[in-house]
Each structure stands twice: as C-alpha cells, then as structure tokens.
Amino acid sequence: MTANPPTLRIAERFVSVQGEGILAGVPSSFVRLTGCNLRCSWCDSPESSWRPTGEPQSLDEIVRWCRDGPRHVVVTGGEPLLSPYVGALTKALWDNDHHITVETAGTLDQPDLVCDLMSLSPKLAHSTPAAPASLAQRHERSRWQPDVVLALMRFPWQLKFVVRADADAALRRDVAEIDTMLEALGDPDPQRVLLMPECIDPAALTERYQRISALCCTRGFRLGPRLHITAFGHTPGT
Ligand code: SF4
C-alpha cells in the first residue's frame, strides 16, 4: 500500500514584501498555514485561527510554488508549528536554497525544523479574549511558554511583541510585562526585540510609531514596522 503524500492545510499563499520584523521590505513568498492553538482578541488573521479556512495542499506542490518565487520564504499562520509536516516543509525549502523565516507565537516546538530566522511573537495579557470562557482560559494557559521560546532561540531569532500604543499608560503596562518575560529568557539582546503596534488602521499607525519610538530610544528595543498595513491597508494576500 502506498502512503498518502504529506499535506498541509493552507489558508493563503502569496508573494509580497515582508511587512514586519528585521527583514521588513524583503520580497518573500508567504505560506500561511491555517489553525492556531491561541485565540488572540485582536488576531489580524482570523481565517487561520477564529474561523479557520483553507484546503490541504501537498508539500511537493508548495515547494514547487516557492521555487518559482523569491528566495525568501515566510512560513506563517495561524500557528505553523501545529502542522506535523512543517518540519519536513522547512527541510525541503532549505534543500532548495531558500531563506526561511518561521513566524510563531512560541508555544510549540518541533525537532525537525530548520530556518534562518525564528520570528517569535509571544503574546501579552491584553491578547486574551473576553469570551468564550473556555477559549479565554486555554489562551491564558498557553500564551506564554518561556521554555519553548528558549528552545526555539536555538535558531537565529527575533522577538516581536505586539503592544498597545494608543496611550502612554497602556504602552507602559505592556513594556513592564515584556520586561518580566525578557527576564525569564535571561535578558536577551534588546536590539533583536521589536515592539510592534497593535493596529490595522493605516491612519492611526504614525502616532503609535511615534509613541513606541520614543520608548525604544530610551530602552534599546527596536520599533517593529507594519509596512503591509501602511502600503495596502489590512488586506489579505499582502
Ligand atoms: S497567535 Fe497569531 S494567528 Fe493565533 S490567534 Fe494569535 S494573532 Fe491569531
């Protein structure tokens, strides 16, 4: 009997420039897996978490599609590390000489992963949804797993925190929480720690960038851009 070829459930795939993190501006193929073990209240890709959509696609077909695109590939979600075949996908992309970024909330690990950049985005308390209670409790239990984050930092890494920057007090509260999290990680290099505004409204970004950049200048963190919001608005496939 022939075994079925490995498949991954894909919400969307597209070519665009990376909008976030230290590789912002780099043309990249995005492979967004559907499904997430968290339920952030402000999730900006609900089609891969709250309302998961997507069809199974074979690993070979995804690799073939990436081969015709940019060298940089971003494996994202949802939570891509939920898929049992994400390690095999990254290995196949690696064998095709791609530069691989894995974007994860840092709550799960897989032993066979490979990547050039592990983009970790642990979620702060403000991400916990108000309801339904069962999901809120699961989210709150799962969202911060320092041992998993530390294990994933075996790869070159960035830490990308989504912060509330609509008011000074909210930003101060989020940064105090980040300080506690960074302490649990052994106070890693702040230049690889990015603070990114929770915001999908291009018109509101400038003020939030200004608030965050003032703080970054005193603390040594980086301002995390959201180029795709500035350029395209909150639009799937960008
Ligand atoms: S971890 Fe990411 S995909 Fe999952 S609910 Fe939070 S923002 Fe959405």
Between CA 30 and CA 100 the distance in angstroms is: 10
Task: Examine residue 46 and say whether the peptide bond preceding it is cis (omega within 30 degrees of 0).
Answer: no
pLDDT at 237: 79
| Binding site membership of 119 for ligand 1 (Cβ less than 6 Å) | no
| Binding site membership of 198 for ligand 1 (Cβ less than 6 Å) | no
| Binding site membership of 197 for ligand 1 (Cβ less than 6 Å) | no
Between CA 127 and CA 141 the distance in angstroms is: 12
Span from the CA of 211 to the centroid of ligand 1 (angstroms):
24
* Contact between residue 64 and residue 12 where contact means Cβ atoms under 8 Å apart: no
pLDDT at 94: 98
Span from the CA of 127 to the centroid of ligand 1 (angstroms):
9
Span from the CA of 92 to the centroid of ligand 1 (angstroms):
25
pLDDT at 164: 97
| CATH code given to domain 7-232 | 3.20.20.70
pLDDT at 1: 60
Residue 82: strand pairing partners: none
Tokens of 37: 């073990």
Tell me which amino acid residue 123 is.
K
pLDDT digit string (tens) for the chain, length 238 residues: 667 889 999 999 999 999 999 999 999 999 999 999 999 999 989 999 999 999 999 999 999 999 999 999 999 999 999 999 999 999 999 999 999 999 999 999 999 999 999 999 999 999 999 999 999 999 999 999 999 999 999 999 999 999 999 999 999 999 999 999 999 999 999 999 999 999 989 999 999 999 999 999 999 999 999 998 888 888 887 7
Tokens of 125: 């308390």
Tell me which amino acid residue 114 is.
V
pLDDT at 238: 77
End-to-end CA distance of the chain: 41
Tokens of 182: 């960074």
pLDDT at 230: 85
Tokens of 110: 């897989």
Closest Cα to atom 2, ligand 1: which residue?
Answer: 78
pLDDT at 3: 76
